[in-house]
Amino acid sequence: MRKLALDDDILLTIEKPARYIGNEYNMVKKDPKEVDIRFCMAFPDVYEIGMSHLGIQILYNMFNEWDDVYCERVYSPWTDLDAVMREKNIRLFSLETQDPIKDFDFLGITLQYEMCYTNVLQMLDLSGIPMFAKDRSEDDPIVIGGGPCTYNPEPVADFFDMFYIGEGETQYRRLLDLYKENKKNGGSRKDFLKLAASIPCIYVPSFYDIEYNADGTVQSITPNEECAPAKIKKDIVLDMSSSPYPKKPLVPFIKITQDRVVLEIQRGCIRGCRFCQAGSVYRPVREKNIETLKETAREMLKNTGYEEISLSSLSSSDYSNLPELVNFLIDEFKEKHVNISLPSLRIDAFSLDVMSKVQDIKKSSLTFAPEAGSQRMRDVINKGLTVENILTGSMMAFNAGWNKVKLYFMLGLPFETKEDNEAIMDLCELIAEEYYTIPKQERNGKVNITASTSFFIPKPFTPFQWAPMCTKDQFIEKATIVKNKMNTLLNKKSIKYNWHEADLSELEGLLARGDRRLSSTILAAYNNGCIYDSWSECFKYDMWQKAIEDTNVDMDFYITRERDTDELFPWDVIDIGVTKSFLIREWNNAKEGKVTPNCKLQCSGCGAASFGGGICFENKN
């Protein structure tokens, strides 16, 4: 039996020791001495969050299918163990072999949201790996970043040796082969970085010098090594049906956030909402073959024993064979007591029919994401959902017995006015009125409408990357407008309004469009004791504030400033396939409230066709 890194006394005093002992069903066991490369995959958040992430499961399985690689996992120790490890000088360890992370060849850290950056430092620090890449020695693991935040990795660029830009399924084999080759030739760490930079999707930040203008904007991004290309090109899977997928995913002992079989049905989104980074960076849309999905679902359920399966993708309703797939899942697995957990679907006759089959109507609710209250604003953000869609969908659902509606909106969108904020509540009122047109004896009590707003944060590689973001006070003011409007409504008793806190949004906005100079701010925040920033019980706003002041960060420069379209952005070193000229065109369309059709209706020439696959090449004879 393996020896655990933590002794019994520690394991019996901390919360949920299962987070740290591994041994989950389907955990891969190999002899580390028998492999050439030891890779540790890290998720900088607590186990229950990290284990719910599909990307790591995909790569874990793919790596471990290779005989020369042993891929293990590590998650951030929760604050209780974090304190014990610091006090007793215990080094961070992997779950599989329980070996120190510092002994691995690679530490791959996924960056899923900006507010995990202090946890990246926590993991490096507890591992005993120097936080800055420049301070690492030949003995330290190569620290490689991946995931959505690497589309602007600049705020954390100094902490990483390299970033993998795009989908991990395609180029890791090549990268690991280069690593082996370099080792065989007795090459140094730097030699390997140079070899890695020859792969078009690998970004080695230390190979680039950044010059700034007097006003603080980026003047130039210049390669300082011959091997470093001027631009890093995102790499993607072209044939989703044949790409690796975990048929035997790990089954944790403790309940995790996504505690079920997850079936990815497609990547990318045809919609083109102008605020959405995922919709932009995952282009073009690529669907998985339905027969592959059916077979995968069967195998995964058999290999895990899970009693629930869910579908994963952006805008699942757009998957072309969705009705066939959902009906298959219901027919095949409902008898075997497998719950089908539906993603949020566009409300229509089909979705209401399947929802009524797999959910308890009395308990479940309808979900709409209009994102903005007025039609004018929905045209600005290119969200093709109309009041008619919402009211017709609601009415169909009310007639079928539903009486709970959830609506999601954003506040602080570009070109937004007070009227647009108030329109959120006008829409809620319309839905309530619609409900009460049903004769009293036929309806199911009171209607229950919940409107939630989050604050809009401009993200790189979206048409809104040039937009100013609101300040904290402006956000709160907008939320107050919505709240006050609600109180004037006839049906206010049927409506509930929730809004997010603004402190975190402000920091997320800072880091999302930040540059390399922010690394000192993140480090200062970490040194001030900030970790688990996305957890409200751990978030220390005052300590972040102090870090921002101590490192002289001008928040207005990063947050509220409107950028010119000729500004060079810190993330312009990356090429996501979607061109800047397309994003500028979309930014101008937003200003004019002009809607752009989705990829299925018409190609708008975003540039993603350059990958040579996906929807860009379908329906074109």
Partner 1 sequence: MEEEFVLKIRIKFKKQGQMRFIGHLDIMRFFQKAIRRAGININYSEGFSPHQKMSFASPLGVGLISSGEYFDIESDTAVSSEESLRLLNGAMVEGMEVISFKKLPDDAKNCMASIAAADYILHITGDSNPITKEITDTFLSRDNVVITKKTKKSEKEIDIRPFIYELSSNENSVFMKVASGSVNNIKPEIVIDAICSLYNLEAPKGIYERVEMYANIGTEDNINLVSLESLGENIE
Minimum distance between the CB of residue 448 and partner 1, rounded to whole angstroms? Answer: 20
Interacting residues with partner 1 between 215 and 254 (CB under 8 A): 251, 253-254
Q: Which is nearer to partner 1, 360 or 566 (CB)?
A: 360
Residue 42 and residue 49 in contact, taking contact as beta carbons nearer than 8 Å: no
Token pair 């690689």 in the structure block, residue: 69
Residue 362 and residue 404 in contact, taking contact as beta carbons nearer than 8 Å: no
Task: Tell whether residue 11 is a contact of partner 1 (CB under 8 A).
Answer: yes
Region of 172-180, 188-196, 303-311, 447-455 interacting with partner 1 (CB under 8 A): 303-311
60 vs 79: CA distance, rounded Å: 26
Task: Tell whether residue 18 is a contact of partner 1 (CB under 8 A).
Answer: yes
| CB neighbour list of residue 333: distance below 8 Å, 6 or more residues apart | 297, 301, 309, 340
Task: Tell whether residue 305 is a contact of partner 1 (CB under 8 A).
Answer: yes
Tell me, residue by residue from 336 to 355, as one string, x for binding to partner 1 by CB under 8 A and - for no binding: -x-x----------------
**Closest to 277 in 3D by CA, of 234, 230, 341, 322:** 234
Interacting residues with partner 1 between 138 and 167 (CB under 8 A): none
The DSSP letter of residue 20 is H
Task: Tell whether residue 25 is a contact of partner 1 (CB under 8 A).
Answer: yes
Task: Tell whether residue 572 is a contact of partner 1 (CB under 8 A).
Answer: no
Of the residues 97, 119, 280, 304, which one makes contact with partner 1 according to CB under 8 A: 304
Q: Which is nearer to partner 1, 6 or 425 (CB)?
A: 6
Tell me, residue by residue from 306 to 325, as one string, x for binding to partner 1 by CB under 8 A and - for no binding: xx------------------
Of the residues 34, 87, 215, 360, which one makes contact with partner 1 according to CB under 8 A: 360
Residue 539 and residue 572 in contact, taking contact as beta carbons nearer than 8 Å: no
**DSSP string covering 292-318:** HHHHHHHHHHHHH--SEEEEESSSGGG
Count CB neighbours of 299 within 10 A: 15
Task: Tell whether residue 2 is a contact of partner 1 (CB under 8 A).
Answer: yes
Report which secondary-structure segment, H or E, holds 74. strand 69-75
Q: Is the peptide bond before 249 cis (omega within 30 degrees of 0)?
A: no
Task: Tell whether residue 303 is a contact of partner 1 (CB under 8 A).
Answer: yes
Which pair of tokens denotes residue 183?
């080792």
Residue 376 and residue 415 in contact, taking contact as beta carbons nearer than 8 Å: no
450 vs 408: CA distance, rounded Å: 9
Q: Which is nearer to partner 1, 339 or 551 (CB)?
A: 339
Within 68-155, residue ranges assigned H as helices are 79-88, 117-127
- Total binding residues toward partner 1, as defined by CB under 8 A: 27
Of the residues 302, 357, 418, 594, which one makes contact with partner 1 according to CB under 8 A: 302
Region of 19-27, 172-180, 382-390, 483-491 interacting with partner 1 (CB under 8 A): 19-27
Q: Which is nearer to partner 1, 27 or 538 (CB)?
A: 27
Task: Give the residues lining the site for partner 1 (CB under 8 A).
Answer: 1-2, 4, 8, 11-12, 17-18, 21, 23-25, 27, 251, 253-255, 301-307, 337, 339, 360
